[in-house]
Amino acid sequence: MLRSLRTFLWTGLAARRLGSCRGRFTANGPCRFTRTTHLGENIHFNGLEIQGGGTVTIGDNFHSGPGCLIITSFHNYDSGRSIPYDDTYIHKDVTIEDNVWLGSRVIILGGVTIGEGAIIQAGAVVVKNIPSLSIAGGNPANVFKMRDAEHYHRCKSAKAFH
């Protein structure tokens, strides 16, 4: 009962800041979105924060572990008026395609696309694009394995989504 109440509370609070959502989403932990966050269907958050002015698009059937962070804005350190940086920002978008799973405490930096069906290992820092059906981890995140494509497509065709 208490868990259901917390989920209801976290989901309601997260929805107030959200840009758009095509379907149902659930927040089982504290989440913070921006007005430029756009969600697909069947989304499950266990704690995720989005910071910055870039657009974040998350596809269908997404799952995240607790403590995940997406950062879409950076200080202007190369062409600013002062050093180490000035008061302007550079905004970069993030795209997370369908059926992606982020482990606990994953950090994703702006300008990144995570391909369909990818899995990002807990604690990874994603600084470059991750191909579809990849399993990546580390700092910076690197692909170390590929998912079984036949199994993935069989589950997808059967609409066997968690």
Q: How far apart are CA 11 and CA 29, in angstroms?
A: 8
* Active-site hit among 63, 75, 91, 153: 75
Q: How far apart are CA 69 and CA 25, in angstroms?
A: 18
Helix intervals (H) in the chain: 2-15, 149-157
Active-site annotation holds for 75: yes
Tell which residue, 29, 25, 58, has the closest CA to residue 44.
Answer: 25
Which residues are known to be catalytic?
75
